[in-house]
Structure 1
Amino acid sequence: MKTIDLDGIVKAVPAELFIGGAWRPASDGARISVADPATEQEIASVASASVNDGLDAVTAAHQAGPGWAATAPRERAEILRRAFELMTERADGLAALIVLENGKTLADARGEVAYAAEFFRWYSEEAVRGLGTVQTAPSGANRILVLRQPIGVCVLVTPWNFPAAMATRKIGPALAAGCTVVLKPASETPLAALAIAGILTEAGVPAGVVNVLPSARSGVVVRAMMDDPRVRKVSFTGSTEVGRRLLAGAGETVVSSSMELGGNAPFLVFADADLEAAVDIAMVAKMRNGGEACTAANRFYVERPVAEEFTALLAARMGELRMGHGLEEGVALGPLVNAESRDKVADLVARTVAMGATVVTPGSSVDGPGHFYPPTVLADVPPGAPVLTQEIFGPVAPVVAFDREAEAVELANDTEYGLVSYVCTADLARGLRVAEALDSGMVGLNRGVVSDPAAPFGGTKQSGIGREGGHEGMLEFTESKYIAVEW
């Protein structure tokens, strides 16, 4: 393993709550133990916010709101641009920090930091484009003037799998729109969010505009903030189960809600596809972040004439992946984030094999501690198998053969989720036809990555409400005000 300067990387991050521009301990002294998933050893102890801390953060954001909303769009833009530059300058340290708290490989972590920083650059450009509209009423009696104004105090709740990118994807548009925020990062991975708070402060974000609250008491703290009438927006990325609960709570106080929830992404391979290229695309779509992504390919549907060959090629590539600590040279697959995640993946595979599926490659094991699960390809997967109906969130690829295009679309759409789908085919007309028929918010056509700060990210059905990224992402943090006027 490369030598890691923990004093310079982990200990440089203030391990406290960030409220009103100041670092402070939790009001009741509670702490969170942050562990390296590859070693299971503690790397930091971080303050764990209480309900009172959450309400203090809302107060800080509320008080800072009018001043930040009145700040010129160009000034907000320059601050976000500076945050992008600082993140880019410190990319290596941030990437190592993410590896230590999350478990992903250094290559994946570097990719995440670059992606995360891009949200600050994109929304530095969007901050000056809060466009309204003006038109003549159909009757001709008056003008219809529509303004876009910041929605107000926003509570942002982010997951552990992309601790930097999910934070910047929400903070960037909120600040660009003129909103103030309270960020509640996942308790498994609070360090990246705290580091970003420091970067934003250095970039010039005024006190109270961004507040960061790690907490092991997420449910009660987030609910208390949502129940506060000063909070006007909640943006959540995480499981559909938790999203449903948050939506129910938001309904009681009529809080605007954006939800980026679970996925069950189908990956369709047609017989005319270049199979080598399709496997390359599949490896990206499946193995980015070790499969711990809502966009990860979850179900592989392959046209029958090439199903066996595709499965063999995919199994060979998966079997070559070296597992280990993400900071080690040559490691392509790190551990899952915790023991619960590893055990869930193992259970899904065991139940699927019990139904008749065949394990094509179990990968290789890793000696010693860590929440590792080997890369696994499953063939002969029966309908209704757990790995087809549930989000795997791990390095497991089940393969199912299909015979007709319409059947492939039907199988792909047979899920309550609709975040992203993938299609591999040499026939562009077919690809676009299938993409239109797929019931998902995004489609990767001959491409294994769809995420882009300039594009609207989000799903249909139980995969969420609203969009992040693109111009739409900033509009999620605004209210439309209509003014009827004559001149």
Structure 2
Amino acid sequence: MEFKEFTNSLFINGEWHQVDQKQTESVVNPATLEHITKVSYGGKSETEQAIAAASAAFSDWSKKTGRERSRYLYRAHELMLKDVDRLGEILTMEQGKPLQEAKGEIKSAASFLLWYAEEASRGYGEWLPSSTNSKRMLVIGQPIGVVGAITPWNFPSSMITRKVAPALAAGCTVVLKPSPETPLSAIAIMEIFEKAGLPGGVVNMVTGDAKAIGQAMLNSKAVKMITFTGSTATGKYLMSEGAKQMKKVSLELGGHAPIIVFDDADLEKAATLSLASKFRNNGQTCICANRLYVHEKVAEAFTALLKEKVEQLQIGNGVKEGVDLGPLINEQAVKKVKAQYDDALSKGAQIVCGGSDLNAIPNGLAGFYFQPTVLSEVTDDMAIMTEETFGPLFPIQLFSDDDEAIAKANNTDYGLAAYIFTENTGKTLRTAEKLEYGIVGVNDVFPALSEAPFGGMKESGNSKEGGHHGMDEFLEKKLISIAIE
């Protein structure tokens, strides 16, 4: 695929703009290290223009009925599904995940447009039974206002629609800051909104200086809400700065997901799905498995199954047929995986399979690669057991007591997702209730659907995305108390 230079890659008030100084930033393919194209490098001034456009558009957009707003989202959904192949290729070229996986993400992104097109007409209020005959009480939801949306590189399409679609459905207007690593997917989605006929200023996008753009959003009194997916450290900063204006800050942050394989689990299913969770997007997902706790009675058989499956994974450029794992996003990501790997080996971990960094990968791959790796004899003092990995490194630890496994799974500041494998209904419910996570998958590692709430506990976030809960985040609840006597 050939790319033009996107020097006019700022989408403000329904038009494409470039930075006054014509500053640009290069986009690199992590699978090959090749330059793909350039995009505009915006900052404070351009963000302020986008906020002004969103503020001006808010009055008309918020007054439209839910049914009127839904029509634009339906059109965008249809346009995205018609263009899955091209959008998937763009995603793979800039982010690295295999093409089939990228196309799956595009379909997921489109599903949020469809869900919130349907949900736009369902911003229900409620009548409250009054304790006195002299009053009637009504609660209504009203759009919060201009929303600053900050999205990550690991799911550069679906993270945009998961935030923008409910905001638009609720009647808010948006200024989007996509990740500087993956601006091309964001540009393509803005083009879809443009083709769908969305009024100018309703959705705006500024690519470029992440710090300057984010700070402009935080400093603006016109921006009533920040919605962010990314690291816990950045989320804490946004919350701290947003508190200066009592700005609403919606956060979906890091994870350190455990998988518990009980002794009554279907081992074939558990091994297959554990692999799918850990190595999806090469381990670069906030809900992918980071720690694997396996009952000692089934550990040998389970480890053999997992090893066999991991060794069959094909590494390479995601645009090629048969590739299961693409590259990591950049050199720093490889260094982080290598550091956790070295730390684990220095403290006694054993290699079950894998263990090579990008310099040892065969077939002349030039990108940011690390072999899918499984480690055994893992202990709690290893960095891999306390830090989010975001890479293809999978530690196995054995347990003999169910409560011990649950306690170990909960022993983290994170609380986004956890998974269990068991065929026992009672154990399912007891364990799911005890796990301190916003999402618990039971014999299921793919819980993120447009119709379901997605979000964490503890330091993994403070809000929900998806489902009717996702639109509620963008609505202010107002009580109208009416005296009738």
User: TM-score, normalising length from structure 2?
Assistant: 0.97
CA shift for structure 1 position 11: 3.1
2:94 is matched with 101
In 1, Cα distance between equivalents of 2:27 and 2:479: 48
Tell me, what secondary structure is at the counterpart of 1:305? coil
**Amino acid across the alignment from 1:486:** A
1:68-127 deviations in whole A, cap 9, x for unaligned? 001121111111011111000000000000000000001110110010000000000000
1:136–1:142: 8 Å Cα contact kept in structure 2?
no
How many pairs does the alignment contain? 479
CA shift for structure 1 position 15: 5.0
User: Is the aligned partner of 1:186 residue 2:179?
Assistant: yes
1:156-190 deviations in whole A, cap 9, x for unaligned? 00000000000000000000000000000000001
In 2, Cα distance between equivalents of 1:196 and 1:307: 45
User: Is the aligned partner of 1:408 residue 2:405?
Assistant: yes
User: Is the aligned partner of 1:270 residue 2:262?
Assistant: yes
User: Is the aligned partner of 1:348 residue 2:326?
Assistant: no
CA shift for structure 1 position 363: 6.3
In 2, Cα distance between equivalents of 1:377 and 1:93: 34
1:117–1:168: 8 Å Cα contact kept in structure 2?
yes
User: Is the aligned partner of 1:326 residue 2:323?
Assistant: no
CA shift for structure 1 position 377: 0.1
2:7–2:18: 8 Å Cα contact kept in structure 1?
no
In 1, Cα distance between equivalents of 2:72 and 2:121: 12
In 2, Cα distance between equivalents of 1:218 and 1:454: 30
User: TM-score, normalising length from structure 1?
Assistant: 0.97
In 2, Cα distance between equivalents of 1:27 and 1:233: 28
1:61 is matched with 54
**Amino acid across the alignment from 1:315:** K
Gaps of 5+ in 1: none
1:348-402 deviations in whole A, cap 9, x for unaligned? 1111111100111016724231001100000000112111101110111100001
2:249 is matched with 257
Give the % identical residues: 43
**Amino acid across the alignment from 1:252:** K
**Amino acid across the alignment from 2:350:** T
User: Is the aligned partner of 1:301 residue 2:298?
Assistant: no
User: Is the aligned partner of 1:117 residue 2:110?
Assistant: yes
Tell me, what secondary structure is at the counterpart of 2:90? helix
| Aligned residue runs from structure 1 range 66-85, under 5 A | 66-85=59-78
1:14–1:194: 8 Å Cα contact kept in structure 2?
no
In 2, Cα distance between equivalents of 1:26 and 1:310: 55
Q: 1:153 aligns with which of 146, 168, 184?
A: 146
1:440 is matched with 437
User: Is the aligned partner of 1:286 residue 2:286?
Assistant: no
- Name the stretch that deviates more: 90-99 or 427-436: 427-436
Superposition RMSD in Å = 1.2
1:205 is matched with 198
1:335 is matched with 327
2:112–2:161: 8 Å Cα contact kept in structure 1?
yes
1:17–1:214: 8 Å Cα contact kept in structure 2?
yes
User: Is the aligned partner of 1:476 residue 2:480?
Assistant: no
User: Is the aligned partner of 1:313 residue 2:308?
Assistant: no
Runs of 4+ in 1 over 2 A off after TM superposition: 10-15
Q: Cα distance 1:168–1:12, how it changes in 2: closer, same or farther (>3 A)? A: farther
2:5–2:38: 8 Å Cα contact kept in structure 1?
no
2:229 is matched with 237
1:345–1:394: 8 Å Cα contact kept in structure 2?
yes
User: Is the aligned partner of 1:43 residue 2:40?
Assistant: no
